[in-house]
Structure 1
Amino acid sequence: MAILPKLGRAIYVLLGGILFTHLGSYMLLPFFAIILSTEKGLSLGSTGLVLGAGSIAFLTGSLLGGFLSDRFGRRLTMVSGLLIRGAGLLGFIWGATFPALFLTNLVAGVGGGIYAPGAKAGIAALASQGTKTTAFSYRGVAANIGVTMGPLIGTYLHTRSSTLLFGGAAVVYFVLAVSHLLLLERDCIGEDCPKVDRQGIRQIFTDRPFLYFSFVTIFVWALFTQFALSLPLRAAQIESARNIGLIFTASAVLVILLQGTVTRFFTKYLHPLGTMAAGIVLIGTGLGSVALSTSFWHLVASAVVITLGQMFVMPTSDAIVADLAKPEQIGSYFGVAAFVFGAGEAIGNIAGGQLMERAVAIDYLPLPWLLYGALGLLLGGAYYLLRLWQPLAKPLAPVMEERTENNPSPFRPKQKT
């Protein structure tokens, strides 16, 4: 029995890109703010502005990258994004002033944003109708391998010099650019590329099923952001945040080990919108249970439930975007989806910080977690209602029918012949 599904070489090249872009990002992430504030001499406020510039640039680059991948082809767009990202990271070696570092992170952020939609659009376009969710599940596995390995490699390089750290991360992106150029077939060039209709691009923003799904999903990402933001703060309230890294490592390992099994379950028995509902209820339940936490191991148990919900939500949301997108605009749809993710993350960071501060001010620490649990249930109900709305549920029905034909559910009555 094959360990990995037969998804085709091109998809595995893209999955390799996902793995190493996450590795390159997470090589830097634990040390980025420290380097800016200590070695580069920026104030904490200026450090935050530099980091925020990268986030905003990534969102802008995502919208741009989606459009460019539809107009000029995915391979060319992804290679360009990787080269821009690598060049931006090299700039941190020589940048020494706030304006230079601000501009450098803008460049790096735009490059990362340009790459992201093309990678997802490529997976969606190359996977067969019945394997899209499986392919996106393995995207999650690849990302979490990178998340696990990146800080380890980053620690090794950072102990030697920040120059080696930024240079090593840049090399990762340059090598990926070359590998994508050599191993991926040219999807279009020149006259072979579709002529992008600007009116067609604007129609994405009048696609009601996609917009309604995206609106609800913004709050899913805002809620999921609390895993990285509020959970460490709660750990500090209980005892100490020194072991919080273990939770993130354990979460990544769980995804690597269990994502395939979880995906086989929900693709066999659940409608995609039902999967989203189940996943966000699990995330909300895990976050809500933090209200009862009194030790680090309670947080570990909550994190396991949150991670299980993540395994439902992450690949399914990408597969739904792929199924709702028009083939000639699939990159643009994923560009908007990446923007939605970033917007939800920004809302979650702002609201989560305010809620944690408010809970301390009124001396009622369970407050944020109870609200998160309630929001998870509310969002689960919203997906259930969308499941009943035919303009959204119907485009996803052929995918579900194909799955149930190949994997009949034991809970469905057999048809009489």
Structure 2
Amino acid sequence: MVGSNRARKLGKRFIMLDSALVVAGFNVVFPIIGLHFVDQLGWAAASVGLALGVRQVSQQGLALFGGSLTDRFGGKPLIVLGMLLRASGFALMGFAATPLQLMVSLILSGLGGSLFDPARGALVVKLVRPAERPRFYSRMLMQETAAAVLGALLGTFLLDFDFRWTAMAGCFLFLLAALANALLLPSYRTSTPGTGALAAMRMPLRDKPFLILVLTLSGYYVLQTQLMLAVPVLLMQLSGSAKSVAWMYGMEAVMAVTLLYPMARLAERHFGLESRLMTGVGVMAISIGTLSLARGTLGVFAGVAVFYLGGLFADPAREALVARYAQARARASYIGLSRFGLALGGLFGYTTTGYLMDRARAIGMPALPWLVLSSIGMATVLALVWQFTPRAKLRLEKMVS
């Protein structure tokens, strides 16, 4: 028992270190893509949005496949290989001169994520006991937010010199993460022995309540993706400086570090996971709609601050809800399939918002993207209410049976 507890403790510490490197490496590059290719190079927002959406599908859409391989072969080889693929994608992105080249580099980056992300998520479910998960996710999200901001600050700083420096910094961080996993990560099994890849893949696909939750959460991810595309572009247009985007991520870090864990502790005492998720998504939907009224950077920052508050309330609950479904025989497959909502939401969020941004500019209606996004968020809340109220749960159980 003592050895098991020590292994859990060491494993959780490594997960925290690993997540900091991964999130920092991702955010060195991704928040900068829209600024560089749309604002600096003048590419159409729709073409950049399409490339980002295809990356989302290549990663999250194939995560079930990556998760099933993890359940069969263990997490370490999938994590190391996936991080090396992500690093090579970032290296290629630094030299992308056409939308097609950008898309190829993003697909390669996404394929890497489809291998390492389900494995990392399954390790959390394996090593963290159910009662501890909401608090652990809160602490991890705090750290990830700080790492994301540091990454975004580094990315915007390097962008002043050349985007290639930004891309290479992200490449280096993922190479470092791959090395750390290769040398330090024990060869944990993420599922009970004897689970074949196909059998592990079928288990979450047959879990209808889980599937419905995954599809519903695609609306949540439509909102989240705007922090990578629409919001940075809006701030750049209003302020004329990429530094405003860095300040936005700095605000997110301060809010996460100071508010996330206290909010999670308070919410545990007064709200269930379902209520926290629905409330958080509702706040995000309303706040993103207020950006249609923003006429300066101060208004954008106010709307984004409220948006972050909604996310701080919803994110730990969302992670814990997904983990609740994951069965021991196919943990990584469940985590992989849970990313399918992110694939749908990311593809729709990036491509549709990119089109709406171009269309809004053409017809002189800047509020259009934000009003559509707000409507999607409110529809997501209604879908969650349908699933989570006691009467809706009873209807869902009858439908499944």
Deviates more, 1:67-76 or 1:366-375: 366-375
1:82–1:176 Cα contact (<8 Å) kept: yes
Name 1:182's counterpart in structure 2.
Answer: 183
Distance 1:192 1:329, change over 3 A: closer
Distance in 2, Cα, partners of 1:353 & 1:165 = 23
The answer for unaligned runs of 5 or more in structure 2 is 1-5
Task: Specify whether residues 65 and 392 from structure 1 end up closer, same or farther in structure 2 by C-alpha distance, changes over 3 A only.
Answer: farther
> What is the CA distance between 1:92 and its match in structure 2?
5.6
Match in the other structure for 2:225: 225
Letter in 1 for 2:256: V
Partner of 2:209 in structure 1? Answer: 209
Partner SS state of residue 140, structure 2: helix
What displacement does 1:58 show? 2.0
Encode CA deviations 1:334-369: one digit per residue, 9 max, x unaligned: 111222112102212233344445555665544544
Structure 2 residue 328 is the aligned partner of structure 1 residue 327: yes
Judged with a 3 Å threshold, the aligned counterparts in structure 2 of structure 1 residues 217 and 37 are, in CA distance, closer, same or farther, namely closer
CA distance in 2, matches of 1:37, 1:231: 13
> How far off is 1:22 after superposition?
1.7
**How does 1:287-298 map onto structure 2 within 5 Å?**
287-298=288-299
How many residue pairs align between the two structures?
A: 386
SS of equivalent to 1:225: helix
| 1:254 CA drift (Å) | 1.2
Amino acid at match of 1:151: A
Indicate yes or no: 2:132 matched with 1:131.
yes
Q: CA separation in 2, counterparts of 1:317 and 1:81? A: 24
Note the C-alpha offset of 1:321.
Answer: 1.1
Q: Partner residue of 2:69?
A: 68
Q: Does 1:390 align with 2:370?
A: no
Helix, strand or coil at the partner of 2:339: helix
Q: Decide whether aligned partners of structure 1 residues 376 and 161 sit closer, same or farther in structure 2, where only a CA change above 3 A counts.
A: closer
Q: Distance in 2 between matches of 1:194 and 1:330?
A: 13
C-alpha distance 126-371 of structure 1, shift in aligned 2 (>3 A): same
Describe the superposition over 1:296-331 as per-residue Cα deviations: whole angstroms up to 9, x where unpaired.
Answer: 222222111110111122222121111012121111
Q: Which residue pairs with 2:271 in the alignment?
A: 270
Measure the CA separation in 2 of the matches of 1:116 and 1:160. 31
2:371 corresponds to 1:350: no
- Distance apart, 1:77 and its partner CA: 1.8
CA RMSD of aligned residues (A): 3.8
Q: What is the distance in 2 between the residues matched to 1:92 and 1:235?
A: 24
CA deviation digits over 1:227-272, x for unaligned, max 9? 44443455567x4453344223212331232111111122222111
CA distance in 2, matches of 1:106, 1:371: 27
The percentage of counterpart residues that share the same residue type is 23
Residue identity in the other structure for 1:269: H
Counterpart-to-counterpart distance in 1, 2:306 and 2:53: 30
- Mark the CA change 1:241 to 1:176 in structure 2 (over 3 Å): closer, same or farther: same
Structure 1 Cα separation of the partners of residues 113 and 140 of structure 2: 16
Greater relative CO, 1 or 2 (CA 8 Å, sep 6+): 2
Judged with a 3 Å threshold, the aligned counterparts in structure 2 of structure 1 residues 90 and 9 are, in CA distance, closer, same or farther, namely same
Instruction: Look up the match of 2:3.
Output: none
Question: Aligned partners of 1:240, 1:226: CA distance in 2, in Å?
Answer: 18
Q: Are 1:23 and 2:21 counterparts?
A: no
TM-score (norm 2): 0.81
Contact 1:91 1:104 (C-alpha < 8 Å) held by counterparts: yes
In structure 1, distance between residues paired with 2:368 and 2:353? 11
Contact kept, 8 Å, 1:66 with 1:114, in 2: the verdict is: yes
Structure 1 residues 89, 218: CA separation in 2 closer, same or farther (over 3 Å shift)? closer
| Deviation of 1:279 (Å) | 0.4
- C-alpha change, 1:215 and 1:254, in structure 2 (3 Å) is same
Deviation at 1:142, TM superposition (A): 2.4
Q: 2-side partners of 1:103 and 1:358: how far apart?
A: 26
Structure 1 residues 374 and 197: CA distance shift in structure 2, 3 A:
closer
Structure-2 change in CA distance of 1:159 and 1:293 (3 Å): closer
Deviation at 1:85, TM superposition (A): 2.3
Larger Rg: 1
Residue in 2 aligned with 1:408? none
Change (3 A) 1:373 1:343: closer
The 2-side partners of 1:318 and 1:180 are apart by 23
TM-score by length of 1: 0.78
Deviations 1:92-135 (CA, angstroms, capped at 9, x unpaired): 67888988776554333211221111111111221111111122
* Aligned equivalent of 2:248: 247
Deviation readout 1:43-100 (Å, 9 max, x if unpaired): 8798777656544432355233211211111223212212332344445678889887
1:333 Cα deviation after fit: 1.3
Instruction: Say whether the 8 Å CA contact 1:60–1:110 is kept in structure 2.
Output: no
